[in-house]
Amino acid sequence: MGLTFRKLHPLFAAEVSAIDLRHVADRATLDEIRAGMDEYAVLVFRDQPFADDEQLQFATRFDGNLHTKTGASVLSKSRFGNEALTDISNLDEGGGLLKTDDRRRMYGLGNRLWHTDASFQDPPGRYSMLSAKVVPPVAADTEFADLRAAYDGLEAATRETLEGLHAHHSIAYSRQVLGFEFSPQELEQLKGAVHPLVRSNPRSGRRSLYLASHASRIIDWPVPEGRLLLRELMDHAILPQFVYRHSWRVGDLVIWDNLATMHRGRSFDDAKYRRELRRVTTLDIAASPA
């Protein structure tokens, strides 16, 4: 029996019928999920009781190599002992709430900016898989923007202007915008990467903007004009008609395509409520040239 997909937004995002991803290993089902990703870009799977190793194993089965060069790893080691498992939480090593002035918390505030996972690396991230372990009793949602629909919604002349342009992406840049300070040694490890402003899905051929708060400048243009264009594109991409807002439940696994979407975490009282999610991101090593 095949999977079914229930749309959660007029343009993208879907909830998938009941399935236990821990036991999915056959190529046919994995290909069906991948086809769903090509169509919807964001897939929601309910009731997925992943242990850490099971989440890592599923991500590897689904899309191969895992992203481990996270920006947070420059500041401190993962509390899970595996840099492929990204800690999206407000917790310290003992499971207590981080102090409001903790450097790790301050760095993590950058997740509330619109971004694309690992765009500051080459190769960048492709599929991100976020598992909800603890959800606070208040709204602590994640928003996703469909960058394919945003690209389609641009005027033809603007789309033509973007062809061949490249942007420099740096996670240090997005954090510095928030006032976060890095040491010279940390900055040396966070030099960033350059990617096209427009990319294509290698299977469907569908074009999309490739944006993030990490995008510091368009390298082909003077800085003022390039940054203005990036700001205009970001403002366009997050128009309400392009955005799906996900309300988390414990056991949710959400997979999104970083080639087709941006996302951000919504703010909540993280000094009062515990929130724990764990993310695995695969590397975009099979993408065809834009």
For residue range 16-67, list pLDDT tens digits in order: 999 999 999 999 999 999 999 999 999 999 999 999 999 999 999 999 899 9
Comparing CA positions, the residue from 170, 216, 169, 172 lying closest to residue 75 is 172
pLDDT at 288 over 70: no
For residue 74, the model assigns a pLDDT of 63
For residue 287, the model assigns a pLDDT of 42
> What is the rounded distance in angstroms from the CA atom of residue 153 to the CA atom of residue 208?
10
Model confidence band, residue 79 (pLDDT cutoffs 50, 70, 90): confident
Model confidence band, residue 90 (pLDDT cutoffs 50, 70, 90): very high
Neighbours of 200 (CB within 10 A): 18
**Does the CA dihedral 8-12-17-20 come out positive or negative?**
negative
Comparing CA positions, the residue from 86, 90, 124 lying closest to residue 215 is 124
Return the structure tokens found at 214: 């990490």
The residue among 201 and 71 whose pLDDT is bigger is 201
Q: How many residues does the chain have?
A: 290
For residue 72, the model assigns a pLDDT of 63
* Burial tier of 66 (Cβ tally within 10 Å: 0-12, 13-18, 19+): middle
> What is the rounded distance in angstroms from the CA atom of residue 228 to the CA atom of residue 59?
37
For residue 85, the model assigns a pLDDT of 93
Mean of pLDDT over the chain: 93
Q: What is the pTM of this model?
A: 0.94
pLDDT at 268 over 70: yes
Chain segment 181-231, per-residue pLDDT in tens: 999 988 888 889 999 999 999 999 999 999 999 999 999 999 999 999 999
Amino acid residing at 60: T
Chain segment 112-171, per-residue pLDDT in tens: 999 999 999 999 999 999 999 999 999 999 999 999 999 999 999 999 999 999 999 999
pLDDT at 248 over 50: yes
Q: Residues 256-284: what's their mean pLDDT?
A: 97
Look-up of token digits 């040694």 = 185
Q: What angle do CA 160, 163, 164 make, to 5 degrees?
A: 150
Q: Residues 225-251: what's their mean pLDDT?
A: 97
For residue 78, the model assigns a pLDDT of 73
Percent of the chain scoring above 70 in pLDDT? 96
Identify the structural domains of the chain with CATH numbers, from first to last: 5-283 (3.60.130.10)
Comparing CA positions, the residue from 116, 124, 288, 287 lying closest to residue 195 is 124
118 backbone φψ class: left, alpha, beta (φ>0; ψ -120 to 50): left
The residue among 69 and 128 whose pLDDT is bigger is 128
